[in-house]
Amino acid sequence: MAGIKALISLSFGGAVGLMFLMLGCALPQYSKYWPLFVLFFYILSPIPYCIARRVVDDTDAASNACKELAIFLTTGIVVSAFGLPIVFARAELILWGACALVLTGNTVIFATILGFFLVFGSNDDFSWQQW
């Protein structure tokens, strides 16, 4: 039952984050769809860590270079997702209000992705690897 509650709360968080992103694009005073490019970062951000978890053997308790590289790449993707709306706003492609909405959506979405890996990342009864 705890897995269902976690899944529902994570899906609610994802919906709220995407709502902020869409508001930053579709409100009448903004009406520019450039911020939708951050969707690529949402898709790309979990990929390095998922690949590293599949490749790396977890029997070693010490730090692993493959996992460290995956975390580094994920951090670069997340920082790029926060930087892109700021670059768009500085270049005056979007307004600063739209930038704030997109950054709020980024925070919620990446917190949701982190929550997914914290809740379903362990190898217990409701692991995401079973899906």
41-85 pLDDT, tens digit each: 999 999 998 898 888 766 666 678 888 999 999 999 999 999 999
How confident is the model at residue 1, as a pLDDT?
Answer: 67
The pLDDT of residue 104 is 97
Phi-psi category of 31—alpha, beta or left, where left has phi over 0 and alpha has psi -120 to 50?
Answer: left
Mean pLDDT score, 12-21: 95
Mean pLDDT of the chain: 88
Distance CA 55, CA 48 (A): 11
pLDDT at 123 over 90: no
Q: How far apart are CA 47 and CA 73, in angstroms?
A: 9
pLDDT of amino acid 59:
61
Q: Give per-residue pLDDT as tens, 41-53.
A: 999 999 998 898 8
The answer on pLDDT for 129 being more than 70 is: no
Residue 120 is predicted with a pLDDT of 80
pTM: 0.85
